[in-house]
Amino acid sequence: MSESTVARSDLADPATRQALMAGVDATPGSAKPDSILVVDNIVRQFGGITAVDVSHLEVQRGIITALIGPNGAGKTTFFNLITGFDKPSSAKTGAHWSFDGATLDKTSASSVAKAGMVRTFQLTKALSRMTVMDNMMLGAQGQAGENLLKCVFKPLWSGQEKAIEEKAKELLQRFKLLEKKDDYAGSLSGGQRKLLEMARALMSDPKMIMLDEPMAGVNPALTQSLLGHIQSLRDDGTTVLFVEHDMHVVRHISDWVAVMAEGRLVAEGPADTVMSDTAVIDAYLGAHHDTDLGDDALLSDQAMVEIQQEVAAEQAEREEEA
């Protein structure tokens, strides 16, 4: 199914999203009403280790899906495989995946990006010796990270540079990075780099954005704003697939959760269902015993107020310094 069955703006309404997913089986590999990404038989082995072995996964269009799982579960490898940054060991034995109706099995990372699927990296790939603006201009090429040198030396966008620059500025404004546009990306904080990477990914107007641990290493003030950005992307009609370890964040913003353990998809469902699933609890407990599977009470209104106060205090501090 490649046509959207639900008007995109409708999915900005939580009740609509809930109704959409209410009929979906909470079982690994379950069919979705309108899948934007369909993956079959994708296996990746490194020596004796099977890092990924996903027999079937569908990602619903227009919502936020979280991909969770303990360290080493294969989440990043899975992202690398489907975005063309790595090749499945099962390439000749039935690996198949399609995005928005187009087969992607044998395409390069830049073709994947052109098809409308872009990703960010667990370790940010902002180019520290380029300015923030130049990093954004690279995003217009499609997936930065591949063939960077070619992108730097041979701009493919000549003629439209002005329009692209305007777009970059708009995005930087939205992510509160505009005043840093001429600074080296290397001078940004870890959180600002994450924002820059997300802004850059949006330069190519993706249909789906894949975020690998967007909150890792980000201070609470920026976490709040990152969460807001991810939700508003969804509300504007962009499909979001993100990897995250913080279960409070997962519970707070995900419409659907998929769980990987030892390379396999072991559970799927709404956050509450998934986090009380014994397979999930076992997967996490097997890996690290102190994992807190999240309690939404911690993201209560009170917590939000505290985060906002923290933001305000930091801002005041900055203004004082200036």
Which residues make beta-bridge pairs with 268?
258
Q: Work out how close the CB of 80 gets to ligand ATP at its nearest, in angstroms, rounded to a whole number.
A: 7
Q: Does residue 72 touch ligand ATP according to CB under 6 A?
A: yes
What DSSP string runs through 150-210? HHHHS-TTTT-HHHHHHHHHHHHHHTT-GGGTTSBGGGS-HHHHHHHHHHHHHTT--SEEE
User: In Å, how far are 107, 235, 237, 276 from 296, measured between CA atoms?
Assistant: 40, 21, 25, 13
- Which of 65, 76, 124, 239 binds ligand ATP (CB under 6 A)? It is 76
E runs forming strands in the chain: 35-46, 49-60, 64-68, 96-99, 102-103, 117-119, 208-212, 239-243, 256-261, 264-269
Q: Does residue 214 touch ligand ATP according to CB under 6 A?
A: no
Q: Work out how close the CB of 74 gets to ligand ATP at its nearest, in angstroms, rounded to a whole number.
A: 4
Among 65-73, 124-132, 168-176, 295-303, the segment contacting ligand ATP (CB under 6 A): 65-73
* Burial of 303 from C-beta contacts in 10 A (0-12 / 13-18 / 19+): middle
- Which of 49, 123, 156, 298 binds ligand ATP (CB under 6 A)? It is 49
- Which of 42, 51, 82, 168 binds ligand ATP (CB under 6 A)? It is 51
The contact pattern for Mg ion, residues 120-159, with x = CB under 5 A and - = no contact, is --x-------------------------------------
Q: Does residue 254 touch ligand ATP according to CB under 6 A?
A: no
**Residue of 310, 309, 256 whose CA lies nearest to 28:** 256
Cβ contact 190:217 at 8 Å: yes
Q: Does residue 76 touch Mg ion according to CB under 5 A?
A: yes
Among 74-82, 149-157, 269-277, 298-306, the segment contacting ligand ATP (CB under 6 A): 74-82
Among 30-38, 75-83, 145-153, 291-299, the segment contacting ligand ATP (CB under 6 A): 75-83
Q: Work out how close the CB of 47 gets to ligand ATP at its nearest, in angstroms, rounded to a whole number.
A: 7
Residue 21 DSSP label: H
Which residues sit at the interface with ligand ATP, rule CB under 6 A?
46, 49, 51, 69, 71-77, 122
